[in-house]
Each structure stands twice: as structure tokens, then as C-alpha cells.
Amino acid sequence: MRPIPILMYHNIAAAPRGVKLRGLYVSPGRFARQMQLLRRLGYQGLSMGAALPWLRGEREGKVAVVTFDDGYVDNLEHALPVLRGLGFSATCFVVSGAVGSYNRWDAEQLGVRKPLMDATGLRAWQAAGMEIGAHTRTHPHLPQLAATDLEGEIRGSRQDLEELLGLPVTQFCYPYGEAGEREMTAAQAAGYAAAVTVRRGRARPGESLWSLPRVSVGGHHAPHVFPLQILTRHEDRH
């Protein structure tokens, strides 16, 4: 069956001067061109929840999953209009303990505080047909946590977001992509339908839904890299 690229984005904005890890930023213009290319290639952009029938191998077709990590305001400002214009859906993985705040977990390392959506922004994202997934409460390194803290981060973030937004939260993203057997078991036990890592590769229909690989779309990549990531074994070789 056709492999499914699960695209991973962070910021849809111009990278500030001097910021570290510029690859986390994709400019709004480049993002729009990438989504338009998907459409021209015959792909439908879907959220994680909407893509589950394809990820399970129950349906076949040209789909790409669109995901955003952390819940930045620029996703709402710059990505949402593009997605809506093309009839695509997407999933934003939100750190529930940082709603309306900033990227506390890496602001010092990156040299920039990046604003995160507040509850109003998250509701606007959902109202536009997009999905909210959970990304823990505090964005910790999960393998370093005791069992009770692990459950609090994984299950607790889902509970926080469901209480805040009033809708089911069924998708999970491991911070830093760190997921061993213990973390995957915890995500499944917490009731998530699927969970994504940062392991490179396109998803294979029928593989474990709690350790899905993704395609990291970086602002530092040359423009020709994106179609290679989607259409070839560029990501699968690693």
C-alpha cells in the first residue's frame, strides 16, 4: 500500500534574526507553496484523526497528514488560512500546561520566546475544522520520568485539553520524539488512538499506531527537498 507522509511543522513564520535552530521555522509563503504542491500532486491534506482509516490500512489513496508541534500562535495566523483555502485539515499538538504562554522548554536554548495559542485560539483552530492533539503538560523528556509522573504528563494533558475545549482529544505527540516501549504503552493505556514520534520515514499502513514516524519539514531545506520527501524514499532510507 502507498506510504503516508506525516508532515511535522513547528513555526510557520519568518525566522527571527540570530535565532538558533532556524529549521523549526517555515515561512508562510513556503508553507503555502508546499500545501499547493500537495494539492497539484493529487494529495488530500488530513489531520491525524481524519487519516486513521488510511493509517490502519482500511482505505487507500493519496493522503498526507499535516501536523504542528507545540501550538504556536503563528500556526493559527499563517497556516490556518492556507489549509482552509485548500480544504485540508491538520492536527496541532498542544502542551496543555503552557496554553497562552510561550515555549518554556526551549526558549533559553533557542534564544526566543515564541507565543502559544490561548484557549480562544485553540477553539478557533477547532472551529475551522482542525484537530487538537496532546503534547504532554510540560514538554518533558518522558523516559526520564517516574511512572506516576509519566502518566500525569500523558493522560493528564488529554484530560486538561478535553476539559478546556469540550471535545475528545485522541492524538498524542511524544516530546522530542522520545518513545520507548514504556511510553508507547502509556499512550495507548491513556486512550489515544495514535501517537507520533520524530523517527524519520513515511508511515506504512498497518504499522503500530503508537510509534508513527514523521517527515520533518524544515525551513533550512532547499525547495526541491519537499517533493522528494513526499514522493520518494528520501525519508525512508534513514
Q: List pLDDT tens digits, range 102-143.
A: 999 999 999 999 999 999 999 999 999 999 999 999 999 999
Query: How many helices and strands (H and E) does the chain possess?
Result: 9, 10
**17, 140, 169 from 49: Cα distances, Å:** 36, 24, 9
Give the pLDDT band of residue 64 (cuts 50, 70, 90).
very high
pTM recorded for the entire structure: 0.97
Q: What is the pLDDT of residues 197-236, one digit of tens each?
A: 999 999 999 999 999 999 999 988 888 999 999 999 999 8
Domains of the chain, CATH where assigned: 6-231 (3.20.20.370)
User: Beta strands of 80-207 (E only): which ranges?
Assistant: 91-94, 131-134, 171-173, 194-200
Residue 44 in 3-state DSSP? Answer: strand
Contacts of 230 (CB under 8 A, 6+ apart): 5, 38, 41, 43, 64, 215
| Contact in structure between 177 and 153 (CB atoms under 8 Å) | no
Cβ pair 227, 36 in contact under 8 A? no
User: pLDDT (tens digit, 9 = 90+) per residue, 68-113?
Assistant: 999 999 999 999 999 999 999 999 999 999 999 999 999 999 999 9
Main-chain phi, psi angles of 43, to 5 degrees: -90, 145
- Is 67 within 8 Å of 173 (Cβ atoms)? yes
